Amino acid sequence: MARLHRFGLGVLLLAASAALAAAAPPSAAVRYLSADQVYLDAGSAAGFAEGDTLKVLRKGQVSATLLVLHAAEHSASCRLLTGKAPVLGDRVQGVARGETAAPPPVAPAARRERTVPEPRRRGAAQGLAARLGGSVKLSWDGYRDDGAASRDYDRASLALGLRGEHLAGRDLRLDLRLRQRWIARDGASAADERRLRLYVAAVELGANTGRVHLALGRLGAGRMAESGALDGGLLGLRFRDVELGGYAGSMPDWADPSLATHGLRGGVYLRQTLEAARWSLEGVSERMDGEISREYLLSSGTWRGGDITLRQRTELDVNRGWRAERAGGQSLALSSLRLSGDWRPSGEFSAGLRFDTRETPLDAELRSLPDSLFEAARSSGTSASARWRPDRQATLSGRAGWRGREGQDRGTLSYGADVLLRPAFAPSLRGGLHLSGFDGPAAAGLSPSADLYRDFPAGHSLGLATGAYLYTPQDLERRSNRWVRVDGRLALPARSWLALELENDSGDDIRGLRFFAELGRRF
């Protein structure tokens, strides 16, 4: 009988444990952020399903609520309902039955009751709503030079940006960003020029979810390939939070006014996205005319913990063949290092520190240049900044930096400060006082400026700004230039706008009138 009682007690404990586990809300962490969606590191396997309402926890408090748009097996994409935008590392928790998901003061829609979701294949995207948006801008920028050189110019631009997500009911993404420019110059540099810049034109499958990540077209620098833009393809495989893959293609020739390319670039990469960190390591090889142009290792990463964010980017050149001979037998050489840290203990105060060292990388195009030019281009610098917003009416910020070059006796000191004001008695007004300056081995200069803007309820604005640029070249007299600018923005129907700007320049170096107009629309 006692054995039967123990068996019955065990069954009750197991049943109670199962009930508690079923009642416990699922939990995940924010692993990636896009312009309009939040991505989690857990999906249907953890209990999330489309239509769920989730709460974002930051320091134990509910800071926002999310709506699950799609839940794959080990990932989920969400849309922000209420509250502040999440950051990487925030904990996200499902809402238990009987609990409200609304952080005060806005109450979101109640969480719907659901049954256990049917199993789905990894990367499936049923139920996703396609999203397509972008902008188009037509602008004209001109200058009429009243000086002796008469360096007039007119420049017209057409810029188009388009982004589509979840196309055809899948994790399919489309990115397009281009700019066409027409430039006409008069005077000593008279010339007509046309430039077409295609920054991104890519189709991407599995950009955020799924086992396979595939991209084709002109891939943009950064998110797809840290080494830079290329015309080609990328293929990656995901294993939970790790992605391993490679890419190959031709490199755009940005100096060419058309869509020409030159040379080939290929690379392999390893990336990992954790709750509070993201890092990547790439091995890159570039070739020109069938021979090695440049080979290097590229490392980048971001870490967030509490109030601190740290970032790094490093390029380490691998010298083989003619590059090893040019480097005097040195097989590895540091060509770029960037370190930064940001501290934000509260919403009112933030501070940052930056350090970088860089030099012009040696490649096949620069092979004929003497070593002295590369040595003169080597530089390193440090900068610090701080921003304080004691209330909604004022923002104070300051920055200072130092940069030195190899072979120079002294470096260049740069500094700046800004005071932004929006008075409580006139909330439609905003203005600022700005100061920037530098002191280097070749010259020292100072640039003060001030601006005042009036915002209107319909989204229009009108502003007036003025400033000066004063500098003293080494062993020469001080030179001064002044400017006054009037600009405005008119909000038009259908998410369109018209921006106008008129600036008058006067001084020792330049005298003339600059005008700018832009007509744009978001869709």
Between 21-30, 38-47, 319-328, the lowest mean confidence (pLDDT) is in: 21-30
Please spell the DSSP secondary structure of 351-418, one letter per residue: EEEEEEEE-PPP-GGGTTS-HHHHHHH-EEEEEEEEEEEEETTEEEEEEEEEEEETT-SS-EEEEEEE
User: Who has greater pLDDT, 473 or 98?
Assistant: 473
Question: Which whole number is the average pLDDT over 483-510?
Answer: 95
8 Å CB contact between 234 and 221:
no
Q: What is the pLDDT of residue 231?
A: 94
Question: Which whole number is the average pLDDT over 121-129?
Answer: 50
Fold of 22-129: Thrombin, subunit H (2.40.10)
Q: What is the pLDDT of residue 128?
A: 61
Question: Which whole number is the average pLDDT over 234-257?
Answer: 91
Between CA 390 and CA 88 the distance in angstroms is 26
Is pLDDT above 80 for 34? no
Where does the pLDDT of residue 95 fall: very low under 50, low under 70, confident under 90, or very high at 90 and above?
low
Q: What is the pLDDT of residue 77?
A: 82
Q: What is the pLDDT of residue 277?
A: 92
Is pLDDT above 70 for 117? no
Best-predicted range by mean pLDDT (24-38, 243-257, 458-472): 458-472
Question: Which whole number is the average pLDDT over 293-313?
Answer: 94
Local structure of residue 187 (DSSP, 8 states): G
CA dihedral 18, 24, 25, 26 (to 10 degrees): -60
Q: What is the pLDDT of residue 337?
A: 96
Q: What is the pLDDT of residue 325?
A: 83
Q: What is the pLDDT of residue 201?
A: 94
Q: What is the pLDDT of residue 438?
A: 96
User: Who has greater pLDDT, 223 or 185?
Assistant: 185
Between 22-26, 54-58, 416-420, 476-480, the lowest mean confidence (pLDDT) is in: 22-26
Between CA 336 and CA 303 the distance in angstroms is 20
Q: What is the pLDDT of residue 387?
A: 96
Best-predicted range by mean pLDDT (9-13, 166-170, 418-422): 418-422
Is pLDDT above 80 for 315? yes
Q: Mean of the per-residue pLDDT values for the chain?
A: 84
Per-residue pLDDT tens digits for 52-89: 888 888 766 788 888 888 777 677 888 887 777 888 77
Per-residue pLDDT tens digits for 133-147: 999 999 999 999 988
Give the predicted TM-score (pTM) of the model.
Answer: 0.71
Between CA 195 and CA 256 the distance in angstroms is 8
Cα 68 to its chain centre, rounded Å, is 25
Between 270-279, 362-371, 423-432, 498-507, the lowest mean confidence (pLDDT) is in: 362-371
Q: What is the pLDDT of residue 20?
A: 34
Between CA 18 and CA 12 the distance in angstroms is 10
DSSP reduced 3-state for 107: coil
Where does the pLDDT of residue 7 fall: very low under 50, low under 70, confident under 90, or very high at 90 and above?
very low
Where does the pLDDT of residue 35 fall: very low under 50, low under 70, confident under 90, or very high at 90 and above?
low
Q: What is the pLDDT of residue 189?
A: 64
Share of the chain above pLDDT 70, in %: 86
Is pLDDT above 80 for 224? no
Question: Which whole number is the average pLDDT over 382-402?
Answer: 95
Neighbour-count burial for 6-39, b at 16+ CB within 10 Å, e otherwise: eeeeeeeeeeeeeeeeeeebbbbbbbbeeeebbb
Question: Which whole number is the average pLDDT over 162-181?
Answer: 91
Between CA 209 and CA 271 the distance in angstroms is 14
Between CA 252 and CA 258 the distance in angstroms is 10
